[in-house]
Structure 1
Amino acid sequence: MPQQPILRVLDHTDTELHPAYCEYVARVFSQADFRRWCEWGQWAPGYLAYSLFEDGRVVANASTMRQRLIVDGEEILAFQFGAVGSLPQHRGRGLARRAMQAALAGGGDAPALLFANDRVLDFYPRFGFAPAPQSLFEAAHALAPAPQRAPQRDLADADVRERFLAVAARAAPLGRRFASRDYGRTATWYAANGYAAPLFEIDADTWVFAHEQDGALTIEDVFAVAPSHAALAAALPRLIVGPVETLRFGFDPCALWPQAGPAGPDDEAGLFLRGIDPARLGPHSRFPLLART
């Protein structure tokens, strides 16, 4: 009988094995890469990779990121899954299932969530996950640019990263229905891969990811120690270079921008929950884009 792959649980200290993990991710997920994120020193306690090794390579994996969720006004410790799968030539051996089982055992009874692509929507219900619809949000709002734009920051700069992460660790959640907090290192992954919107420093305690296109301003995320509607409204003209008529949000803005409303389903989200009743999210919610692993 062929020898079964060996399970290793990788954490931030297993730097000699990180390259093998990064190679696995690059082979399985064409639009994901962990190499630059690791070079930035962002793999920290709270992120674990349940990796199956064979001949020195990761052939299957399920990772978990510790998450401070806000669900229906309650803060709970949960785990978000990511990088679940196996190398194409090793599929059909049950290896992804084995990695998932190991990761679930590692999380114990804690609630869990994940975002799945549309090719594997039937895989996660086998482990007790239930789909939970997500919504898009927008608001009509006319804006003209301010005389001076807010300074744009680059998270490739180590000093900028340090200051951003300090704010992210103290930032208040943007809502009470379905949100998260202290996910700065997840946001840096998006920046490391070029997927995040430009980052603006409004003041020492307020950073905003946002971009404008065709008369619409997408506020991807707000990391603020004391977020408020008034503060955001004052900051918006400093984020744009041309007139804007519409605001779009990468999170549920109902607490921060009450004028916003649902603008249709987020068909690309693929959210699944385990140990959390989807009904607690209400009929419309949106988990922050930059908190998704």
Structure 2
Amino acid sequence: MGNYKLVSDYRNNKDLRASFNELAINSFEIDFRGWYNKGYWNDKYIPYSFVDGGKVIANASINKISVVIKGKTYNGIQIGTVMTDHRYRSKGLAKQLMWHILQLYKDSCDFIYLFANKSVLDFYPKFGFTRIDESEYSLNLEKSSIKRKMDTRLKKLTIEKDLALLENFAKNRYINSMILDVKHNEALLMFYFTIVFSEVIFYIDDLETIVLMEHEEETLHVYDVISLNQQNIEAVLENIIFESTKKVVFHYTPASLIEGMEVITMPDDDDALFVLSDTPLLNGNFKFPITSHC
């Protein structure tokens, strides 16, 4: 095995940051530059990387995150952006980075968790992680009394024109659910605003609410609902469904069940949740907000 250098927390190192970004683009087609350049990469997101010849060749990052579970706030560490340059695979670099992170944080947080795809489902149990299946919350509109509001004022937002509004809502958002949610998550939410969901940001003027959403034939995917105050989800839906919409899928945990809502445990091999904790914290029906995945 080569003598590679372990580095971390280098967001202000131009060369290493550029190399990290290049590896992220090659691995996930994700470009972090816009997020960093706007000042959203803060000290909660820390990469741990092996470097060879000044180039980042393997990485595992952590994000310090406050997680609300059944009304109580826990200090969580989420591991993400686990990637290795294809020329350096099968050398155990990801394994070393994982052990390093676990040794650093296992005694200073309430739990550690991550999301994994089907190619590494057997990898994380080796470190003591347990897989927990999340739930899918969906609404069958044929079993609901919710109807489209005809005079809705729905505006599409853009990073270029509405950045100040997005930053304010990310910083001061109301927690959607006491069952499971995250808070003080503005940096990661701005990542989703600027990179992942930049084309599907909408604003309901009458409710002063931002909705990340996308229609797929007769199904409406609601990725997140961001407001400065508590919102009635039925009022939100009245403003965003189409006449053709038959089903709504929520990519987070709603605050409560409403008429026509269905909840089922939904194993997902492409985005499987793994948790490491001394005591079981997560049970029953829940779904981490997709905008909290790092």
What TM-score do the two structures reach when normalised by structure 2?
A: 0.86
% identical aligned pairs: 24
Secondary structure, counterpart of 1:42 in structure 2: coil
- In the other structure, the counterpart of 1:24 is 23
Q: 1:10 to 1:205 in 2, by over 3 A?
A: farther
1:17 to 1:258, Cα distance in 2 relative to 1, 3 A: farther
Q: Hey, what's the Cα distance between the residues in 2 that align with 1:281 and 1:196?
A: 31
CA shift for structure 1 position 263: 4.1
- Mapping 1:160-239, distance limit 5 Å: 160-195=162-197, 198-203=200-205, 206-229=209-232, 232-239=233-240
- Measured in 2, the distance between the counterparts of 1:145 and 1:135 equals 29
How far apart are residue 133 of structure 1 and its match? 0.3
Q: Is the 8 A contact 2:148 2:240 kept in 1?
A: no
Residues 1:147 and 2:145 aligned together: no
> What TM-score do you get using the length of structure 1 for normalisation?
0.87
Q: Deviations over 1:77-130 (max 9, x none)?
A: 111111113212211222111222222233242111100011111111222211
- The one-letter code matched in structure 2 to 1:287 is F
Taking a change above 3 Å as real, the CA distance of residues 195 and 223 of structure 1, as seen in their structure-2 partners, is closer
* Gapped regions of structure 1 (runs ≥ 5): none
- Tell me if structure 1 keeps the 8 A contact 2:24–2:83: no
Deviation of the 1:211 alpha carbon = 2.2
**Distance across 1 between alignment mates of 2:156 and 2:229:** 20
Structure 1 range deviating more: 123-132 or 187-196: 187-196
Q: One-letter code of the match for 1:200?
A: F
- Residue 206 (structure 1) shift: 2.6
Cα distance in structure 2, aligned partners of 1:254 and 1:148: 23
1:58 corresponds to which residue?
56
Counterparts of 1:86 and 1:176, CA distance in 2: 37
Instruction: Call closer, same or farther: CA 1:227–1:15 in 2, change over 3 Å.
Output: farther
Q: Residues 229-283 of structure 1: CA distance to partner in whole angstroms, max 9, x if unpaired?
A: 2xx32233332454433222011114274752214514232101111655x4333
Give me the whole-angstrom Cα distance separating, in 2, the residues matched to 1:184 and 1:240: 27
In the alignment, the residues of structure 2 paired with residue 182 and residue 145 of structure 1 have an alpha-carbon distance, to the nearest angstrom, of: 32
* Alignment map for 1:52-201 (pairs within 5 Å): 52-109=50-107, 110=109, 111-141=111-141, 142-154=146-158, 156-157=159-160, 160-195=162-197, 198-201=200-203
Moved more, 100-109 or 68-77: 100-109
Q: Deviations over 1:7-32 (max 9, x none)?
A: 11124433442111101112233x43
SS of 1:244's partner is coil
Distance 2:30 2:183 in 1: 23
Q: How many residues align?
A: 286
Distance of 2:137 and 2:43 partners within structure 1: 33
Letter in 1 for 2:229: A
Alpha-carbon shift at residue 166 of structure 1 (Å): 2.3
Q: CA–CA distance in 1 between the matches of 2:164 and 2:101?
A: 30
- Long gaps (5+) in structure 2: none
| Contact 2:153–2:204 (Cα < 8 Å) also in 1 | no
- Once the two structures are TM-superposed, the CA of residue 67 in structure 1 deviates from its matched residue by 0.6
Q: Structure 2 vs 1, CA of residues 186 and 288 (structure 1 numbering), >3 Å: closer, same or farther?
A: same
The list of structure 1 runs, each at least 4 consecutive aligned residues, that deviate by more than 4 angstroms after superposition, is: 194-197, 256-259
CA deviation after TM superposition for structure 1 residue 178, in Å: 2.3
